[in-house]
Amino acid sequence: MVIDMKILGIESSCDETAAAVVEDGKTVLSNIVASQIDEHKLYGGVVPEIASRRHCENIHTVVTGALIEADCTLNDIDAIAVTYAPGLIGALLVGVSFAKGLAMDTGLPLVPVHHISGHIAANYISNPRLKPPYMALVVSGGHSHIIEVLDYTKYRIVGRTRDDAAGECFDKVARTIGYPYPGGKSIDDASKRGNPEAYTLPHPHVAGSEYDFSFSGLKTAVINLVHNSLQKGEQLNYDDLCASFQKTISEILVSNTIKAAADSGYKTIAVSGGVSANSGLKKLLSDECRKCGFEFFCPEFKYCGDNGAMIASQGYFDFLSGKRADESLNALPTLPITEV
Protein backbone atom coordinates (compact mmCIF):
# COMPACT_ATOMS: atom_id res chain seq x y z
CA MET A 1 0.00 0.00 0.00
CA VAL A 2 1.37 3.45 -0.96
CA ILE A 3 1.13 5.76 2.04
CA ASP A 4 0.12 9.45 2.06
CA MET A 5 -0.61 9.50 -1.62
CA LYS A 6 -2.47 12.61 -2.66
CA ILE A 7 -4.64 12.43 -5.77
CA LEU A 8 -6.24 15.39 -7.49
CA GLY A 9 -9.63 14.24 -8.86
CA ILE A 10 -11.46 16.08 -11.64
CA GLU A 11 -15.10 15.46 -12.61
CA SER A 12 -17.08 17.13 -15.42
CA SER A 13 -19.29 14.38 -16.87
CA CYS A 14 -22.64 16.18 -16.51
CA ASP A 15 -23.67 19.43 -14.83
CA GLU A 16 -21.20 19.67 -11.95
CA THR A 17 -17.65 20.97 -12.38
CA ALA A 18 -15.86 19.34 -9.47
CA ALA A 19 -12.36 18.80 -8.12
CA ALA A 20 -10.94 17.40 -4.91
CA VAL A 21 -7.74 16.29 -3.26
CA VAL A 22 -7.99 12.94 -1.48
CA GLU A 23 -5.28 11.12 0.43
CA ASP A 24 -4.97 7.33 0.20
CA GLY A 25 -8.42 6.94 -1.35
CA LYS A 26 -10.33 7.93 1.79
CA THR A 27 -9.16 11.12 3.51
CA VAL A 28 -10.74 14.12 1.79
CA LEU A 29 -8.50 17.20 2.03
CA SER A 30 -10.75 19.32 -0.20
CA ASN A 31 -13.88 18.93 -2.28
CA ILE A 32 -15.13 21.76 -4.50
CA VAL A 33 -18.31 21.44 -6.58
CA ALA A 34 -19.56 24.17 -8.91
CA SER A 35 -23.12 23.17 -9.70
CA GLN A 36 -24.87 24.41 -12.84
CA ILE A 37 -28.30 23.29 -11.67
CA ASP A 38 -29.76 26.80 -11.35
CA GLU A 39 -29.10 27.48 -15.03
CA HIS A 40 -30.29 24.10 -16.38
CA LYS A 41 -33.42 24.44 -14.24
CA LEU A 42 -34.62 27.17 -16.61
CA TYR A 43 -34.81 24.55 -19.39
CA GLY A 44 -36.19 21.66 -17.32
CA GLY A 45 -33.06 19.53 -17.77
CA VAL A 46 -29.37 19.57 -18.65
CA VAL A 47 -28.59 21.43 -21.89
CA PRO A 48 -25.33 19.79 -23.08
CA GLU A 49 -23.90 22.86 -24.87
CA ILE A 50 -24.46 25.05 -21.81
CA ALA A 51 -22.89 22.38 -19.57
CA SER A 52 -19.70 22.27 -21.71
CA ARG A 53 -19.43 26.05 -21.77
CA ARG A 54 -19.82 26.39 -18.01
CA HIS A 55 -17.26 23.62 -17.41
CA CYS A 56 -14.78 25.59 -19.57
CA GLU A 57 -15.46 28.72 -17.54
CA ASN A 58 -15.32 27.05 -14.12
CA ILE A 59 -12.69 24.35 -14.32
CA HIS A 60 -9.62 26.45 -13.63
CA THR A 61 -11.20 28.10 -10.56
CA VAL A 62 -12.55 24.80 -9.25
CA VAL A 63 -9.24 22.92 -9.57
CA THR A 64 -7.30 25.86 -8.09
CA GLY A 65 -9.85 26.02 -5.27
CA ALA A 66 -9.41 22.32 -4.52
CA LEU A 67 -5.62 22.74 -4.26
CA ILE A 68 -5.94 25.84 -2.04
CA GLU A 69 -8.51 24.24 0.26
CA ALA A 70 -6.23 21.18 0.62
CA ASP A 71 -3.33 23.51 1.41
CA CYS A 72 -1.43 22.00 -1.52
CA THR A 73 0.34 23.01 -4.67
CA LEU A 74 0.72 20.71 -7.66
CA ASN A 75 4.14 19.78 -6.20
CA ASP A 76 2.34 17.96 -3.35
CA ILE A 77 0.11 15.95 -5.73
CA ASP A 78 1.13 12.40 -6.71
CA ALA A 79 -1.33 11.78 -9.57
CA ILE A 80 -4.21 13.38 -11.46
CA ALA A 81 -7.42 11.36 -11.82
CA VAL A 82 -10.13 12.39 -14.26
CA THR A 83 -13.55 11.09 -15.27
CA TYR A 84 -13.26 10.06 -18.94
CA ALA A 85 -16.48 7.98 -19.33
CA PRO A 86 -19.45 7.76 -19.45
CA GLY A 87 -21.30 11.09 -19.69
CA LEU A 88 -21.99 14.03 -21.97
CA ILE A 89 -19.15 14.02 -24.47
CA GLY A 90 -18.67 17.80 -24.61
CA ALA A 91 -18.74 17.99 -20.82
CA LEU A 92 -16.31 15.08 -20.30
CA LEU A 93 -13.87 16.57 -22.82
CA VAL A 94 -13.40 19.69 -20.70
CA GLY A 95 -12.20 17.72 -17.65
CA VAL A 96 -10.15 15.30 -19.76
CA SER A 97 -8.42 18.08 -21.72
CA PHE A 98 -7.69 20.07 -18.58
CA ALA A 99 -6.31 17.01 -16.76
CA LYS A 100 -4.16 16.06 -19.75
CA GLY A 101 -2.74 19.60 -19.90
CA LEU A 102 -1.91 19.53 -16.18
CA ALA A 103 -0.33 16.07 -16.44
CA MET A 104 1.80 17.06 -19.42
CA ASP A 105 2.90 20.27 -17.75
CA THR A 106 3.79 18.70 -14.40
CA GLY A 107 4.86 15.23 -15.51
CA LEU A 108 2.39 13.74 -13.00
CA PRO A 109 0.77 10.38 -13.81
CA LEU A 110 -2.70 10.64 -15.36
CA VAL A 111 -5.32 8.12 -14.20
CA PRO A 112 -8.53 7.70 -16.24
CA VAL A 113 -11.56 6.99 -14.01
CA HIS A 114 -14.94 5.51 -14.96
CA HIS A 115 -17.77 7.63 -13.53
CA ILE A 116 -19.68 4.68 -12.04
CA SER A 117 -16.50 3.35 -10.38
CA GLY A 118 -16.26 6.81 -8.86
CA HIS A 119 -19.79 6.59 -7.45
CA ILE A 120 -18.89 3.19 -5.97
CA ALA A 121 -15.72 4.66 -4.40
CA ALA A 122 -17.77 7.38 -2.67
CA ASN A 123 -18.53 4.71 -0.08
CA TYR A 124 -14.83 4.12 0.67
CA ILE A 125 -14.63 7.78 1.74
CA SER A 126 -17.67 7.73 4.01
CA ASN A 127 -17.27 4.13 5.20
CA PRO A 128 -13.57 3.18 5.37
CA ARG A 129 -14.64 -0.17 6.88
CA LEU A 130 -16.23 -1.20 3.57
CA LYS A 131 -14.04 -3.56 1.57
CA PRO A 132 -14.74 -5.62 -1.55
CA PRO A 133 -16.23 -8.03 -2.36
CA TYR A 134 -19.84 -6.91 -1.91
CA MET A 135 -22.97 -6.04 -3.91
CA ALA A 136 -23.43 -2.40 -4.99
CA LEU A 137 -26.52 -0.56 -6.14
CA VAL A 138 -25.54 2.52 -8.18
CA VAL A 139 -28.48 4.80 -8.88
CA SER A 140 -28.04 8.18 -10.55
CA GLY A 141 -29.54 10.38 -13.24
CA GLY A 142 -27.98 8.28 -15.97
CA HIS A 143 -27.51 4.83 -14.43
CA SER A 144 -29.25 2.13 -12.42
CA HIS A 145 -26.94 -0.82 -11.92
CA ILE A 146 -26.58 -3.70 -9.53
CA ILE A 147 -22.87 -4.45 -9.57
CA GLU A 148 -20.84 -7.18 -7.93
CA VAL A 149 -17.74 -5.34 -6.71
CA LEU A 150 -15.15 -8.11 -6.87
CA ASP A 151 -12.24 -5.86 -6.01
CA TYR A 152 -11.53 -2.10 -5.98
CA THR A 153 -11.15 -2.18 -9.77
CA LYS A 154 -13.00 -5.34 -10.83
CA TYR A 155 -16.73 -5.52 -11.38
CA ARG A 156 -19.50 -7.75 -12.70
CA ILE A 157 -22.78 -6.18 -13.82
CA VAL A 158 -25.58 -8.21 -12.27
CA GLY A 159 -28.57 -6.05 -13.19
CA ARG A 160 -29.25 -2.85 -15.09
CA THR A 161 -32.13 -0.78 -16.31
CA ARG A 162 -33.62 -1.66 -19.67
CA ASP A 163 -34.96 1.87 -20.20
CA ASP A 164 -34.94 4.90 -17.89
CA ALA A 165 -32.48 5.32 -15.04
CA ALA A 166 -34.03 5.70 -11.57
CA GLY A 167 -32.96 9.37 -11.33
CA GLU A 168 -34.35 10.07 -14.79
CA CYS A 169 -37.67 8.56 -13.67
CA PHE A 170 -37.70 10.81 -10.55
CA ASP A 171 -36.90 13.83 -12.75
CA LYS A 172 -39.60 13.07 -15.36
CA VAL A 173 -42.30 12.45 -12.76
CA ALA A 174 -41.30 15.68 -11.01
CA ARG A 175 -41.45 17.64 -14.26
CA THR A 176 -44.96 16.34 -15.00
CA ILE A 177 -46.10 17.48 -11.57
CA GLY A 178 -44.45 20.88 -12.10
CA TYR A 179 -41.48 20.55 -9.76
CA PRO A 180 -38.15 22.05 -10.89
CA TYR A 181 -35.20 20.08 -12.32
CA PRO A 182 -33.69 17.94 -10.86
CA GLY A 183 -36.83 16.51 -9.33
CA GLY A 184 -35.53 13.81 -6.99
CA LYS A 185 -35.15 16.12 -4.01
CA SER A 186 -38.62 17.71 -4.49
CA ILE A 187 -40.24 14.26 -4.69
CA ASP A 188 -38.34 13.19 -1.57
CA ASP A 189 -39.56 16.28 0.30
CA ALA A 190 -43.19 15.89 -0.88
CA SER A 191 -43.12 12.19 0.06
CA LYS A 192 -42.50 13.09 3.69
CA ARG A 193 -45.92 14.83 3.73
CA GLY A 194 -47.78 12.17 1.74
CA ASN A 195 -49.39 8.75 2.22
CA PRO A 196 -47.35 6.06 0.40
CA GLU A 197 -50.37 3.72 0.32
CA ALA A 198 -52.64 6.24 -1.46
CA TYR A 199 -51.93 5.02 -5.02
CA THR A 200 -51.21 1.51 -6.23
CA LEU A 201 -48.58 1.73 -8.97
CA PRO A 202 -47.10 -0.99 -11.20
CA HIS A 203 -43.98 -2.95 -10.23
CA PRO A 204 -42.70 -3.85 -13.71
CA HIS A 205 -40.54 -6.95 -14.01
CA VAL A 206 -38.17 -7.81 -16.84
CA ALA A 207 -39.05 -11.28 -18.09
CA GLY A 208 -36.09 -13.63 -17.93
CA SER A 209 -33.78 -11.12 -16.17
CA GLU A 210 -34.72 -11.11 -12.52
CA TYR A 211 -32.17 -8.46 -11.49
CA ASP A 212 -32.80 -5.99 -14.34
CA PHE A 213 -35.03 -2.95 -13.94
CA SER A 214 -37.61 -1.33 -16.18
CA PHE A 215 -38.91 2.00 -14.96
CA SER A 216 -40.67 3.38 -18.04
CA GLY A 217 -43.97 1.61 -17.21
CA LEU A 218 -43.98 3.06 -13.69
CA LYS A 219 -43.10 6.52 -15.04
CA THR A 220 -45.86 6.35 -17.67
CA ALA A 221 -48.40 5.18 -15.09
CA VAL A 222 -47.69 8.23 -12.90
CA ILE A 223 -47.66 10.63 -15.86
CA ASN A 224 -50.98 9.22 -17.14
CA LEU A 225 -52.56 9.59 -13.69
CA VAL A 226 -51.54 13.26 -13.61
CA HIS A 227 -52.64 14.02 -17.20
CA ASN A 228 -55.98 12.19 -16.84
CA SER A 229 -56.82 14.04 -13.65
CA LEU A 230 -55.93 17.39 -15.22
CA GLN A 231 -58.17 16.60 -18.22
CA LYS A 232 -61.04 15.82 -15.88
CA GLY A 233 -60.38 19.01 -13.92
CA GLU A 234 -59.56 17.02 -10.79
CA GLN A 235 -56.67 17.87 -8.51
CA LEU A 236 -54.60 14.90 -7.33
CA ASN A 237 -52.88 14.99 -3.98
CA TYR A 238 -49.30 15.34 -5.23
CA ASP A 239 -47.79 14.62 -1.81
CA ASP A 240 -49.61 11.26 -1.79
CA LEU A 241 -48.63 10.58 -5.40
CA CYS A 242 -44.96 11.36 -4.72
CA ALA A 243 -44.98 9.17 -1.60
CA SER A 244 -46.58 6.29 -3.53
CA PHE A 245 -44.15 6.68 -6.43
CA GLN A 246 -41.11 6.89 -4.14
CA LYS A 247 -42.26 3.82 -2.21
CA THR A 248 -42.80 1.84 -5.43
CA ILE A 249 -39.48 2.70 -7.09
CA SER A 250 -37.66 2.04 -3.79
CA GLU A 251 -39.35 -1.38 -3.47
CA ILE A 252 -38.25 -2.31 -7.00
CA LEU A 253 -34.64 -1.20 -6.43
CA VAL A 254 -34.42 -2.82 -3.01
CA SER A 255 -36.02 -6.18 -3.85
CA ASN A 256 -33.74 -6.77 -6.87
CA THR A 257 -30.64 -5.74 -4.94
CA ILE A 258 -31.39 -7.88 -1.89
CA LYS A 259 -32.12 -10.85 -4.17
CA ALA A 260 -28.90 -10.30 -6.14
CA ALA A 261 -26.84 -10.17 -2.93
CA ALA A 262 -28.54 -13.20 -1.37
CA ASP A 263 -28.27 -15.30 -4.56
CA SER A 264 -24.55 -14.51 -4.84
CA GLY A 265 -23.90 -15.17 -1.16
CA TYR A 266 -23.04 -11.58 -0.17
CA LYS A 267 -23.95 -10.10 3.20
CA THR A 268 -22.89 -6.54 2.39
CA ILE A 269 -24.77 -4.02 0.24
CA ALA A 270 -23.55 -0.50 -0.61
CA VAL A 271 -25.73 2.04 -2.41
CA SER A 272 -24.42 5.19 -4.12
CA GLY A 273 -25.15 7.76 -6.85
CA GLY A 274 -27.40 10.83 -6.74
CA VAL A 275 -30.55 8.81 -5.96
CA SER A 276 -28.87 7.27 -2.90
CA ALA A 277 -29.62 10.63 -1.23
CA ASN A 278 -33.29 9.58 -1.26
CA SER A 279 -34.57 9.14 2.28
CA GLY A 280 -37.20 6.53 1.35
CA LEU A 281 -34.76 4.36 -0.60
CA LYS A 282 -32.13 4.56 2.12
CA LYS A 283 -34.61 3.62 4.86
CA LEU A 284 -36.12 0.71 2.97
CA LEU A 285 -32.74 -0.70 1.91
CA SER A 286 -31.32 -0.30 5.40
CA ASP A 287 -34.43 -1.94 6.98
CA GLU A 288 -34.37 -4.86 4.54
CA CYS A 289 -30.63 -5.35 5.06
CA ARG A 290 -31.17 -5.46 8.82
CA LYS A 291 -33.94 -8.07 8.40
CA CYS A 292 -31.63 -10.22 6.25
CA GLY A 293 -28.62 -9.77 8.55
CA PHE A 294 -26.74 -7.81 5.85
CA GLU A 295 -24.47 -4.83 6.45
CA PHE A 296 -25.64 -1.67 4.69
CA PHE A 297 -23.48 1.24 3.52
CA CYS A 298 -24.37 4.60 1.98
CA PRO A 299 -22.17 7.66 1.31
CA GLU A 300 -22.61 10.86 3.28
CA PHE A 301 -25.05 13.17 1.54
CA LYS A 302 -22.30 15.36 0.02
CA TYR A 303 -20.77 12.34 -1.74
CA CYS A 304 -24.04 10.92 -3.16
CA GLY A 305 -24.21 13.25 -6.18
CA ASP A 306 -21.35 13.98 -8.58
CA ASN A 307 -18.16 15.21 -6.89
CA GLY A 308 -14.40 15.20 -7.39
CA ALA A 309 -13.60 13.33 -4.16
CA MET A 310 -15.14 10.09 -5.43
CA ILE A 311 -13.01 10.38 -8.61
CA ALA A 312 -9.85 11.02 -6.58
CA SER A 313 -10.70 8.06 -4.33
CA GLN A 314 -11.24 5.69 -7.24
CA GLY A 315 -8.17 7.24 -8.92
CA TYR A 316 -6.10 5.99 -5.98
CA PHE A 317 -7.28 2.40 -6.42
CA ASP A 318 -6.93 2.61 -10.21
CA PHE A 319 -3.41 4.03 -9.77
CA LEU A 320 -2.46 1.15 -7.48
CA SER A 321 -3.79 -1.32 -10.06
CA GLY A 322 -1.45 0.24 -12.64
CA LYS A 323 -4.00 2.15 -14.69
CA ARG A 324 -2.45 5.07 -16.56
CA ALA A 325 -3.29 7.30 -19.53
CA ASP A 326 -1.22 9.57 -21.74
CA GLU A 327 -2.03 12.51 -23.98
CA SER A 328 -3.97 10.22 -26.31
CA LEU A 329 -6.72 9.77 -23.67
CA ASN A 330 -10.14 10.50 -25.15
CA ALA A 331 -13.53 11.00 -23.50
CA LEU A 332 -16.19 8.34 -24.16
CA PRO A 333 -19.94 9.02 -23.84
CA THR A 334 -20.68 5.34 -23.17
CA LEU A 335 -18.48 2.60 -21.76
CA PRO A 336 -19.55 -0.34 -19.58
CA ILE A 337 -17.82 -0.40 -16.18
CA THR A 338 -16.61 -3.91 -16.98
CA GLU A 339 -14.54 -2.61 -19.90
CA VAL A 340 -12.36 -0.14 -18.01
CA dihedral over 110, 111, 116, 121, signed as positive or negative: negative
Contacts of 18 (CB under 8 A, 6+ apart): 9, 10, 11, 12, 31, 32, 33, 34, 62, 306, 307, 308, 311
- Helices of type H across 178-237: 184-191, 216-231
Cβ atoms 206, 162 nearer than 8 A:
yes
Count the alpha carbons within 13 Å of 183 in the hemisphere toward its beta carbon. Answer: 22
Residue 170 touches ligand KG4, criterion: CB under 6 A: yes
Q: Contact region for ligand KG4 (CB under 6 A) — 70-78, 136-144, 197-205, 327-335?
A: 136-144
Query: CB of 163: closest distance to ligand KG4 in angstroms?
Result: 15
Q: Which of 26, 156, 185, 302 binds ligand KG4 (CB under 6 A)?
A: 185
SS3 (DSSP) at 271: strand
Q: Residues 282-311: x/- map of binding to ligand KG4 (CB under 6 A)?
A: -----------------------xx-----
Q: Which of 36, 52, 140, 214 binds Zn ion (CB under 5 A)?
A: 140
Q: Residues 218-237: x/- map of binding to ligand KG4 (CB under 6 A)?
A: --------------------
Say how many C-beta atoms besides its own lie within 10 A of residue 309's C-beta: 32
Residue 109 touches ligand KG4, criterion: CB under 6 A: no
Q: Residues 268-307: x/- map of binding to Zn ion (CB under 5 A)?
A: --------------------------------------x-
Q: Which of 52, 58, 161, 278 binds ligand KG4 (CB under 6 A)?
A: 278
Residue 123 touches Zn ion, criterion: CB under 5 A: no
Cβ atoms 297, 130 nearer than 8 A:
yes
Residue 186 touches Zn ion, criterion: CB under 5 A: no
